[in-house]
Structure 1
Amino acid sequence: MSSLAGWSYTAQATIWKRSSVTNDYGDPSFDAPLLIACDYQGGLSKRLGDIGGEKVVKNTVWTEYALADTGDYLLIGASTNPDPIAAGADEVMQAIRYADTFERTADDYAILTGG
């Protein structure tokens, strides 16, 4: 972790990686929850229009955790619950990579979740 990340990523989030294993109904399963260092910003959770709802960004989480992917689940805060839905986690919509401009130790990521 870069010294700047150690100074700024003082919050915790829990991420559940989507497993390649599915149940009998085709629903995904998830790996055990993993705690990551981060910072975050809240946003909107849903916008309703004339023809229904639209997913929009709910939370943005900044971290050096590089393995988040669409379909994973993320919760701001710590959780040991093996079920991300029961824990209240939100689905990862996108992870965006940013350069570690100052130290070139580890890139930073913005993980966007949808509500």
Structure 2
Amino acid sequence: MSSIANWSYTAKAIIWRNLGKDEYGDPLGYSAPEVIMCDYEGGLSKRIGSLGAEIVVKNTVWTEFSLANSGDYLLIGESTDADPVAAGADEVRQVIRYADTFERVADDFAILTGV
């Protein structure tokens, strides 16, 4: 962890990584919950307009955790629940990578969740 991330990523979140699908297209489930160090910002969860509901960003989580992907589930805080939906986690919609501009030790990531 870079020295800058060491003082900025002080919150904990839990991520359940999507294990993919089997040869029949059925989901294989999710990994055991993993604790990641992060910082975060909340946002809106749904926008309703004249044409229906639109999915929008619910939370943005900044971290050096590099293994997050769309389809994973993330919960700000801590949980040991094996089921991310039962734990109240939100689905990861997008992951954006940013360079470690100052130290070049570990890149930073913005994990965007939606409902």
Letter of the 2:110 counterpart: A
| Structure 1 unaligned residues grouped into runs of 5+ | none
Equivalent in the alignment of 2:65? 65
1: CA distance, partners of 2:77 / 2:44: 18
2: CA distance, partners of 1:102 / 1:25: 43
Equivalent in the alignment of 1:26? 26
Structural RMSD (CA): 1.5
More strand by share: 1
Counterpart mapping for 1:1-115 below 5 A: 1-21=1-21, 26-115=26-115
Match of 1:14, SS state, is strand
| Structure 2 unaligned residues grouped into runs of 5+ | none
TM-score by length of 2: 0.94
1: CA distance, partners of 2:78 / 2:84: 12
How many angstroms does 1:20 deviate by? 2.5
* Identical aligned residues as a percent: 65
